[in-house]
Structure 1
Amino acid sequence: MRSSAVLRFETILRFDTVLRAKAVLRSKTVLASRMAVAGAVAATALVLSAPFGTAAAADLVWEVENPFRFFKRTSAFDLHERAYKAVRGAAEDPVPGNIVWRTERRLNDPDCRDRSSPTSCAATAGRGYEKSRLGWAAQTLDFTCYDRDARPRRYPTVCERQYSWGRAKEDTILPDAHTVIVRLAPEHLATATGDCTWTWQPRRGGAGETVRQACGRPFVIKRVPFSTSRAASGASVAVRLPDGRELADPNVVVEDVLVVAMGDSFASGESNPDRPVVFSAGREMVYDPVNTRDDVATRSMRAPVYGVASAPEGTNPKALPKRLMEDEVKGLIFRPTSAEFQAAFDRSRAQWLSADCHRSQYGYPFRVGIQLALENRHRAVSFVSLACSGSDTVEGLFGPREPREQTTGPNAQKSVVPQLDQLTELICRPGAPRSRDVTYTLPTYSIGSTSISSQTFTKFWCPPESRKRPIDLVLLSIGGNDVGFGALVAYGITESAADLAPIAGLVGRTLRFEPPVARAYLDVLDRRMKAVKDAFVDGFGIDPSTVLHNAYEPVEFDESGRVCGLQPTLGLDVHPKLQYSQARVQQVSDFTRELRARQECIADARKRPGCPRLATGAGTGFRFVTEHTNLFAKRGVCARDPQRALADQVNMAMPRLSLRTDDFQPYSPAAALPYGKRWRLIHSPNDAFLTANTHREGISPFDILQPAYAALYSGAFHPTAEGHAIVADTVVRHARDIVDRRAIVDAR
């Protein structure tokens, strides 16, 4: 039997992350004056970060079962792992730079032979067409450690997770153990016939287990101990082969990483529901008050300035695609004014991981977390995303905000708990005193007004010794709503505020203003961001260097890199008042460059010349991630596929039922491909209507206000699922660096 030192050395050699680990070791975290210690640290770090199943030089190989701890069931993770392995390439090669995008396409490309258009895809559909058309997240939505039925919706303190051997109840934030699967390395497995005797024991002492089983079977250790102290974690494993040889690994230690995502709609996954709306192939929704007699709908008749949905000649201008409802499935027609119709309409809505925040598994933070688990099978990822659409630092992080939907009825939720408060509940140990009250004063304003005031928030943090564990990585997207991103978009696609006045009344705030108003908010953004940094440090002990603050993807460019407006209604014909003005879109584009420059200064004033004096001083210390923005520069909301521009343009139109042919044109909404590959990486209002189809509650579903509401409030001008995967590819490179450095420090 070889010595344990030789075994550890051979274990190191087999891993495909050697080059990346060497780069980490060159960092200043390993001092040249401590070469002996550094060597030991390097070896430990490589063992910690090595993926399972690469070059086989170790005697025993092992992996964590169901390592993305957000998923309850192993089958949910296996779905991603199969796709990952199919596109990964050779195990000895570096992980491809676009691996998340490759995995996304493998998961979400619809099962059809011709994907050039929704119509051709439906005509050449395979057996898995319907399932694949709705996207991978629809298959995992019901198997997550998130309570969608609770009010308020929340992460449970304890989640019951399923493994190959049974179920275990685990703390969502801090597991006490992981399931690990151990196998003989291939060269030993090839010669080991008969039964092997496996033994494992906790490294910190205590009872282990001895099992005799066929050598070809994987050895499952149900609960390998885990602690935030490495010395108290892991197991030693040994096996006796039929010929008497003994193999061992004394350091089967799982690296568990806690990843927390916070912020706004660009992190929540807005516009990409986990289960999108399914539309009827033969019925349309006629938005006309004649279909209902309630008072709210008839008031729309007195609002001629709003108009109705536009449409090509030969179609009903008020008619748009209709959700597939249970009456149609049963061959019935529910009376439009009946409670039966309303209930069926509500049940056929899009399904979100968290409807109050339009949070979905397609958001880039989820994909970063999954990828970190996929590429290192000695790692588990504990993951929490609190990102919520519409959030800014005041309404969302420090204070409550309105839910995105489901605010009425018996299952209503009146407000979303501040994200900082939600995280406090999860991080603090049960019953721990909240003895650290700290106040934060943030500049505030009424959206649309340039008058700046202030508001003080008091937060009650638990002391450091009462926190369950440190947070290893924070994924943050914030600042866009602080400066009025949505109102600026509306400025670019409407002639005047009057065009959206009825919708503004529904959402209770100004929906449109010009860039000078946003600049007033930009001038105080640094003060808000300083409060965010201080709260992270005070409440959770977060090291600012472990915060990845994402730059916003540009949404305003066509396939040539020009701002939208050359074709004013492209992707906007869901409503007649929506059209691009190149001049206004250019003004908004100019402002978004100012926002990015200011955010760079706020993060690190030393990296950009000409930064003004800011409340953050030299910077928050957050890592501001920008590399992905170039990938969106010619793939914005109005971008057509350069190789098939005319065909793509046709398919960007809103499907409507032709009065002449009785067919939907240009394609049936029942064949829509919400997560199929597109050139544009940003959802248009037409896309949003056909994917999330969010209607305003409390008024008639036939109200003529509904089409514009559904188009704008369903996530228009946000990244597609494919766009989020592209963002994740950039972010995960930074995440690896942070996580690998943390693994080395822990090993020391």
Structure 2
Amino acid sequence: MAISIVATSLALTGSLGAAQAADLVWEVENPFRFFKRTSAFDLHDRAYKAVRGAAQDPVPGNIVWRTERRLNDPDCRDPSTLTSCAATAGRNYERSRLGWAAQTLDLNCYDRNARPRRYPATCDRQYSWGTAKEDTILPDAHTVIVRLAPEQLATADGECTWTWRPRRAGPPGETVRQSCKSPFVIKRLPFSTNRSVSGASVSVRLPDGREFADPNVIVEDVLVVAMGDSFASGESNPDRPVVFSAGREMVYDPVNTRDDVATRSMRMPTYGVASAPENTNPKSLPKRLLEDEEKGLVYRPTSPEFQAAFDKRGAQWLSADCHRSQYGYPFRVGIQLSLENRHRAVSFVSLACSGSDTVEGLFGPREPREQTTGPNAQKTVVPQLDQLTELMCRPGAPRSRDATYTLPVYSHGSTSISSQTFTKFWCPPESRKRPIDLVLLSIGGNDVGFGALVAYGITESAADLAPIAGLVGHTLRFEPNVARVYLDVLDRRMKALKDALTDGFGVDPSTVLHNAYEPVQFDETGRVCGLQPTLGLDVHPKLNFSSARVQQVSDFTRELQARQECIADARKRPGCPRLATGNGTGFRFVTEHTAMFARRGVCARDPQRALLDQINMVVPRLSLKIDDFQPYSPAATLPYGKRWRLIHSPNDAFLTANTHREGISPFDVMQPAYAALYSGAFHPTAEGHAIVADAVVRHAREIVDRRAVVDAR
């Protein structure tokens, strides 16, 4: 009687003996538990298998990137330019152009229609056999598919008798007689965080009397939690990007709201802005493809019909309040962990939210990114630590473990530092559903004013963004010297976060992967942006790179990474100052991915075709001479197609997420700047997130495999 044993555990423990060829093979169905339907996971599984290589070979170091390219490369015969790709489009061009996440946006365990948006306590997950209601954090069972190994299946004809028995007392098992060629489905294989009573023993009797068994069909369920800011949320990569009209433009000027202008012609006179391309109107930009155009109508710009149609065709996010999308690197890490070990399931929660810092976002509430007005408005985003508490505590568990945390606080733009105390009510350890196995963390950039530093590098003065600053209610631009004041107290904020994760959830600091920020400021030669001041910025005439200011910001970002390394482990870096974190938080600070971005920043062109790439970095506008967009049609943009730059420019952001400020006219002259900067400019592309995930998953494997070894022993 041959016994199959999880090869990973064998290889790691050594004490369990040499691995045997398994006569029975099994895998978890839909193991990434964020997805409701098996079809959503299978989309990734097919792409992974297509690029994986031989099963006996090590998993390629860039496997997430390979999978991303397989999923998101557009279906066209000639992808050399946007125009040629559209002209040679294949049958699946439109679907592939919009990216894989558009296909799974409504097939997951997240309630994006709730207010506040949230992970449900339980999720109805659909399998090949039917539907099961599962706890989002702690499943009581998994669906497992068992087969005869290929060498045994080749000689097995007729019907086999399958039997499975739970390893813990109570639940009944099952005996099924079916064709030997058909997989045996265990609909609800019991799961427990106590491995000794988890899973089942499985056996099969073949028609010729042979028997095979595996007494240890045990699913390794890993809980992964992601927290932090826009570099983890997936900002700039909506699950479903905006689709643009091939023939209509949107003129950002109040005069365009006059009915006589709007209904007679889409064209407007030039406004004489010096930086505008010849024969184009700088206030004229691509327009979302709205239902009136599809119906051969023109909605009056001031009408409720126009506003409703405009809102309806906005970018779609997994969570619009946080600009959180499935392209965020934490999702890709979770998916990859479940793809490469099919005896593993991944329970996954990402709470990362754009704009978050340690105070406003983790410990305290923050403003939503969008959809703050109207009947479906959400006024605040619940603190991420509170959201996690709600998910991790057993229903009805007391929240008596109150603790206080004092953090330095300041108003962005001011160098005056004060303190604020937060009280958190944790449930006691015995009332937590389970331990957290892995935390993926991105935090610190907004604490030191990342957005204001970017604005400093691309504008001449604060006055250029004054109307935007008035809209969002805080300083949008300041120099690195201000950020250095905030950097000096970052360690106190990080100590509070470490203490909260330990007190509230029992998180072992060594299981926290704190991500370094990807450099965004370099061109293809490794120089800071500014040699071509408006490259990627011509969506608005007030935006331009200053090499000197960008260099100042670049120097500060090196200081930020050095300080974050000290905060994580002061013993690994010489010259660390005395910090509130002492020898360090114990978090693992991940930096390997940053080298991949060193020549592929926001202004980087493909070195092999620099001129062509530069043309494609221009925002398209309708020519005043010919009835067509130049230099390409906005309807042909490839938001998730392969490109050299791994960071979205303001032009890219406008053409991908196209976020407009609510509560003012969509034609307001400041909307293009808002749409460019608040749609995720200076953040990684989907491809960039995949590259980050490849670096992070190497550390994640080590952590979860170490835990698996401990459990097996």
Separation of aligned partners in 2, 1:290 and 1:407: 27
Partner of 1:417: 382
Give the AA of the match of 1:288.
Answer: D
Task: Please state how far the C-alpha of 1:57 moved relative to its aligned partner.
Answer: 2.1
Structure 1 residues 397 and 293: alpha-carbon distance in aligned structure 2, compared to 1, 3 A threshold: farther
Q: Is the 8 A contact 2:282 2:540 kept in 1?
A: no
TM alignment of 1:118-197, pairs within 5 A: 118-197=82-161
Partner of 2:617: 652
Task: Please state how far the C-alpha of 1:291 moved relative to its aligned partner.
Answer: 1.9
Separation of aligned partners in 2, 1:718 and 1:697: 22
Partner of 1:457: 422
Q: Is the 8 A contact 1:198 1:210 kept in 2?
A: yes
Does 1:691 find its partner at 2:656?
A: yes
Please give the per-residue CA displacement for 1:107-146, whole angstroms capped at 9, x wherever unaligned.
0000001111111100010000000000000000010000
Please give the per-residue CA displacement for 1:265-297, whole angstroms capped at 9, x wherever unaligned.
000000000000000000000111112269xxx
Q: Is the 8 A contact 2:322 2:354 kept in 1?
A: yes
Does 1:389 find its partner at 2:354?
A: yes
Task: Please state how far the C-alpha of 1:684 moved relative to its aligned partner.
Answer: 0.1
Q: 2:33 aligns with which of 64, 69, 75?
A: 69
Separation of aligned partners in 2, 1:317 and 1:639: 24
TM-score, normalised via structure 1 length = 0.92
Please give the per-residue CA displacement for 1:185-227, whole angstroms capped at 9, x wherever unaligned.
0111000000000000101134110100000000000000001
Give the number of aligned pairs.
Answer: 701
Q: Is the 8 A contact 2:227 2:350 kept in 1?
A: yes
Partner of 1:542: 507
Q: Is the 8 A contact 1:349 1:693 kept in 2?
A: yes
Q: 1:255 aligns with which of 214, 220, 229?
A: 220
Runs of 4+ in 1 over 6 A off after TM superposition: 306-309
Task: Please state how far the C-alpha of 1:707 moved relative to its aligned partner.
Answer: 0.3
Separation of aligned partners in 2, 1:332 and 1:84: 44
Separation of aligned partners in 1, 2:569 and 2:258: 58
Does 1:39 find its partner at 2:39?
A: no
Q: 1:631 aligns with which of 596, 599, 607?
A: 596
Separation of aligned partners in 2, 1:292 and 1:247: 75
Separation of aligned partners in 2, 1:600 and 1:293: 56
TM alignment of 1:702-721, pairs within 5 A: 702-721=667-686
Does 1:520 find its partner at 2:485?
A: yes
Partner of 1:28: none
Does 1:679 find its partner at 2:644?
A: yes
Separation of aligned partners in 2, 1:122 and 1:638: 25
Separation of aligned partners in 1, 2:173 and 2:490: 55
| Structure 1, gaps ≥5 residues long | 26-37, 47-55, 295-305
Does 1:729 find its partner at 2:705?
A: no
Separation of aligned partners in 2, 1:228 and 1:187: 34
Task: Please state how far the C-alpha of 1:231 moved relative to its aligned partner.
Answer: 1.3
Q: 2:61 aligns with which of 84, 94, 97?
A: 97
Q: Is the 8 A contact 2:623 2:629 kept in 1?
A: yes
Task: Please state how far the C-alpha of 1:316 moved relative to its aligned partner.
Answer: 1.8
Separation of aligned partners in 1, 2:412 and 2:654: 26
Please give the per-residue CA displacement for 1:305-357, whole angstroms capped at 9, x wherever unaligned.
x9979531111221000000010111111011001100000000000000000
Separation of aligned partners in 2, 1:215 and 1:437: 57
Q: 1:219 aligns with which of 155, 161, 184?
A: 184
Q: Is the 8 A contact 2:249 2:284 kept in 1?
A: yes
Q: 1:471 aligns with which of 436, 439, 457?
A: 436
Separation of aligned partners in 1, 2:169 and 2:353: 44
Partner of 2:263: none
Give the AA of the match of 2:344.
Answer: R
**Secondary structure at 2:447 match in 1:** helix
Partner of 1:615: 580
Q: Is the 8 A contact 1:574 1:654 kept in 2?
A: yes
Q: 1:562 aligns with which of 513, 520, 527?
A: 527
Partner of 1:371: 336
Partner of 1:273: 238
Give the AA of the match of 1:191.
Answer: T
Separation of aligned partners in 1, 2:651 and 2:456: 18
Q: Is the 8 A contact 1:309 1:317 kept in 2?
A: no
Partner of 1:325: 290
Q: 1:664 aligns with which of 612, 629, 635?
A: 629
Partner of 2:307: 342
**Secondary structure at 2:467 match in 1:** helix
Q: Is the 8 A contact 2:282 2:541 kept in 1?
A: no
**Secondary structure at 1:574 match in 2:** coil
Give the AA of the match of 2:196.
Answer: A
Q: Is the 8 A contact 1:309 1:574 kept in 2?
A: no
**Secondary structure at 1:481 match in 2:** coil
TM-score, normalised via structure 2 length = 0.97
Please give the per-residue CA displacement for 1:472-498, whole angstroms capped at 9, x wherever unaligned.
000000000000000000000011111
Task: Please state how far the C-alpha of 1:184 moved relative to its aligned partner.
Answer: 0.2
Structure 1 residues 137 and 308: alpha-carbon distance in aligned structure 2, compared to 1, 3 A threshold: farther
Separation of aligned partners in 2, 1:268 and 1:500: 25
**Secondary structure at 2:405 match in 1:** strand
Q: Is the 8 A contact 1:352 1:360 kept in 2?
A: yes
Does 1:592 find its partner at 2:557?
A: yes
Q: 2:546 aligns with which of 577, 581, 590?
A: 581
